[in-house]
Structure 1
Amino acid sequence: MKRIIIFVKSLAFIVLLLEFSGLNAQGIDSSKYKTEYFQIIDFNDFQSARLAEVLLLELNLQREKQGVDTLSSLQFLTFAAEDQAQYCAQIDNVTILQSGSKKKDTGKRSIYYGGSKNAFEMIDKTNVKDGSVYKNYQQVAEDIVVKIMTNQKKMDVAFNQLWIFAGIGAAIDPSGKKLYYSMVFGDYSSFNEGAARKNELDIPFSKKRYGLFPYDEKACKKYDKNKMLAELQKGLYVKDDKVYFKSDKYKEIQKILKDSKDGIGVDIVQRDQYPCVGSNIVDNNLVNKGVMVKRIWSSKMLKKNLVVGDKERKKNVDVLIGKLPAAIAKLDKDQYEMNLVFIKDKYVCKNIPPSYIEAGGVEYNNLLELLADTVNPPGTEEYSPRATKSTLSFKIPFEKGKSVYKQEDIDPFIKALKEPEFIINELNISAYSSIEGTDEINRSLQLKRAESIKNALQAKHKDKIISNVTTADNWEEFKRDVAGTEFSNLAGMTMEEAQKNIRENSLDKKLENILKNHRYAKIDMKITYDIDGDKEQAYVVKMFNDAVKKGDYIEALRVQKYLFKQVVAKKYTKEAVFEMEIPESQATAGLAMNKLWLEQFVNNGDVDEDCCSRVENLNQLDPSNQYILFNNLYCNFIYAPLGDEEHVRKIQEIIDGMYNKALSKKTIDMLNLEYQMTIIKTLDTLDDPGPLFAESMERIKTIVDIKESNWQNSLKLAYVFMGNNDYEFAARLLEPFVNGKYVFEELVFAYISLCTKTEEKLYTSTFTKAVTKAIEQNPERFCNLINKGKLTFQVFENEKVKEMYCKKCKSTD
């Protein structure tokens, strides 16, 4: 049975002891104590029930001082406690176990006496005499409570706010010196009368265990503090009468579902299981409440993931769990709910019902993300693309004897320029031929080649291109290239003499490797870049890359900010991001950070460890860049451990130093708030969180502008924690006011919604008080929460809540 311990901080612990000592010094409030509590214990006529009564009174007095609800006595828990106390006294030993199978452990004893297995027991012993004189019942009860309060583990059990009921038993050992006592704690799930009503359901709940085991504290330890799990239930959906699970937190899920017998399942709970008349039709000894759908193990989840693409499959999951039972499929959707079941090594660690958050007044949604430099400094003109002119040059080599060149022959040379689209304003073609032909043949060939190139380029343009064609033999290049070869003598001749020598000695084949390089057209184009429509993207990317190559980083950032806006607006494609060419240097670190942000954006990527590693490298290149520093700190909050007090204060100093610099106060406040949340979440699990915890709370109050402690500011602060998905802490902030006499309606309904995120709170008397006040203040609003499916009907496991709903919201079931 799951039990989350609410830790009592050291300071509160000391105060509690002082208060208890003061009670003894000042005397006892006689109105709360019966005369028989002060009677001396008679070994031969020991009144176990009397000790149980006064011990529960003493314990409840201290629970009240701790702000924890008092416990009510429950008969079958009392029987279970008496049984074990007597057993321990007989064998003169403190143990939670008995010999035999029917009453072997606490759960079985609770079942034996009419409850469910869901009970928790604390057993110990104490002296029943003061020297040779027996103590009275109140003294023994007081001794037991003091012993509990001086032991942190016992306090964590006895002052756990989740307990609603208790049963206490006591027995004196045969020597008459020691008293053994047992305290058995429980909540609404400790009852089990509804198990016998199974056959009243048209669709009975599953009794088969499917090889699964009940909650085990050791196996399920990592699940108890995982704040993500409640949100994952929203990933369950039905399509074509099949149950699927979908989440974008697959990486985090894989961290907890590691082994072959880890997995998830679905428990389908029907509204008919919570009738207004009689007990709930649930068997609390089972691992499920309703109809179980087939489980899916972690390995199968990976193999059967319906998400397409290797990268997407790493962070997203969409998997078929199983068929919706045919009888359930016929029900209206408001007649059943799907609970998400988490299984660890075959132990059912979580059975999560639907939840919601009353977030109408959230002022802070502080889910941080990477920051990019997108704001132009005052006085800086925003970049706007304007078509510029340029001159482009390239060569087209000629094949021997070929005179006609088509568009497809020329396109590869244009593409090799890696230029954006352009319009040719003027074309200058210098056509060269090798010297082996006659002047007449060469000139004719040159003109044909040049003309075909001009026509091919003209075909791509509406307006007529101004063109100039010149032709020449490539005599100078020939002389240069034959120098140092066996044909070097030709360089000392005139061109006519060389041509004659080549023809008479048939040297053209031997010289072909040289001659082929002399047949080409040199193209010089005066152009204007075409930036109409989709053509703008490539031009802007070129302007950015050109500015970076020139070292004009101010202009590069100006262009990049324009490019950034177009990508975010989805006017540019992802190629605009990946075609940015940025060398690794201090001067370009800020540009690289913006590119990294855009890569994450277009790929819908997570801020994973690889991303954060790149941010850290950029931070090392340029530690002064405030955007990169912000992102590096954010990454540290996610992946780096909190560190010791000195490290925490060092990081805080860095954050404080970021105010009044490049980033706005609001932006640094968000970062600061995130860090305080990180500190609180880490330290809140410790017995003694030290001064850092209090300091972080004060910083949060300053950021959120809370100047005094009242319900308005507590609600405001709770919304901050809700914005950070820390629902449990947000609920704890509101609980003192829920228990107050006058409560604001929004606070009540916010608290009710927070309790759905921490299921155990639904069974506490504080939740019951919240529902009571909600019905008093706005009964229609409360009834609609359940009637319209916002608040799970499984809150009716709290019998008092069910009773109030049935009385106020519907007369009969």
Structure 2
Amino acid sequence: MKNQRKAITKKFQFLIMFIALSICSYGQKTYDLKDPGPEKLSKCDCLGTLQVMPPEVQFGVFRDANNDLYFMLTDKAWFGQLIKGKKDGIAIDIVKKNQYNCEGDNSFANSRIHRGTLTPPVYRNELQANALPSERDNFITKVGKVPSDLVNDDLEYNLIIINNNYVCYNTHFVNVITERWELLEMGLFMDTLSTSTTAEAQTEQNKTIKYILNNKRLQFTIPFEKNKSNYSAKDIKPIYDSLHLSNFNIKKITIKAFSSVEGSTERNMELQEKRAQSILEAMQSFQNINIITQVSSSENWIEFLHDIAGSPYGNLASLSKQEIKKKLQDKKILDGLEPILSKHRKAILILDLDKKSLYAQYDPMKLLSIFEKSIEEKNLDKALEIQHAIFARMRDHTAPEDLLDKIEIPKQVQYGSLLLNQSAYAYETTKKSHYATLLEFQELDIILPQNGHLKYNIVVLKLKCWLFAELIVDPIMFKKEIQALKTYGIPTKLIRRLMLNYHIIYGEYLMAQKKYKEKDMAVKYINTNYRKVGLQGEDLVRLAQYFSSYAKYEWGIKVLAPHISRIDVEENLIFYYINLTIYDPAIIKRASYRKTLINAASINKERFCKIFDSSEKGGISFQLLNSDYLKASYCENCQ
């Protein structure tokens, strides 16, 4: 199920939306299908079935390599409830992307039943006869074929469910990425040095830069002067000195550069690239070790739209981006907005740091010799530092790959930290299985029975073995083992994170047994407790995807919503938020939603435009362009 994409059905009627649209129409055959009109509830048994169908039961339509169309239902027991009578069946409405045109109205079939090309209905007996064998409880049956003149078009397939020749249910599918098996991050404990401090520094312009240094990562903001693109080492030196980096090497710099919105987008991007590159060169001049770099640049639309609200220029927010840029060509307006725009020119820098070591430049074999001598002398602090230096060299591929195999550590209590580090590093950097590493940790547990870090690592490996079916776990006993970590001094937040992962796996365990109520309790536990863990970035996305896999879309939205208005929002986070919300009319009508769309388009225009591709091409759905609001946003940014 890993990295699986599911077409999740959203139960809204397109016939209702169809009437409200301004369209161009063309005629097409409807195979004597009828509109039930106001008597829909009495004539359409399938509607009652859909209302009581568990959200875990999902369905969709897909095309195979031979251009055959198939209907899939994840629980075959429900097929007989949806399609009961011999005149009950399924038809497919094949819609083309080129029916949506930025230059004019959308072009649909002149019918209340379908929008594109309607396939001949397939009724109950034929659906049952066409059913494919399935190892699981899925029901898969052929329902039609893509006409030869459409096979090269960008297509989507709307499902029509028929009861007694009446069109009772008509829906299309949006591609919502879900993930049940992705756990929250769980690193293994290693006994290494870490630093945590908070400070403030002043730039030459006497502007305050706040930053937090925590476990080798530092984030701060550099304001840009208007039209200045070159930043020398002299410009950066006061900032560098204020960060107290003399004990660290910068391993990686991530720069997110932002320009104010006036002027041409091309010029703004060029300016930001130059600014970012000059900062990188200046930072590199302070150390000999090469710095890995990652740079992104965008116009700062989200703060612009936020900051003009309530100002004399608030009316600009209702204009398109190009219309705003045109207004800003007026010198009077531009000068009036300069106090706002000046705050939008900046770069957010994220530094990944490695603590400097006296042994960083030593020959790897010399390091091994010093390590062995430290063991002989029982100088454990020195041995730990050298071990860390060896690991760093191996991560950077400046030491032989087999060096780890040459490190010999006595299996005695006093060398516990070294043994723990050795096993954790081997697991981190080699393809050693979860189970093999678990056995190694359990062997260490015999000589280090009170080592809390080791107990924690054992639990982490058990979770991963349980996840990948490498270990049979008693859920009740394992839960007690996780909770017992508190007695070994493991921080409460880490235990809570483990408990979230426990319930992620346990929920799927219950799901496989169709214990839906118990599964719901496991999912509810996660929703109730995740806020206590302090999740960030990709963990938030994983959690939202997990909730979505159980059709808890609202929970997924609540996980992400507090973070989407940040200028430095993670790309995957904002795009997954859009993935969960863009088909909800109530959400997209909010004034704040335009900021979300513009921010996403600024972060990654290509990815934003891909949202409106078909699910076959990795998009959410081009039928989102039924919305005039979304169509305007798409046409503004992508055409």
TM-score of the superposition, structure 2-length normalised? 0.42
TM-score of the superposition, structure 1-length normalised? 0.35
Q: Looking at CA atoms only, which structure, 1 or 2, has the larger radius of gyration?
A: 1
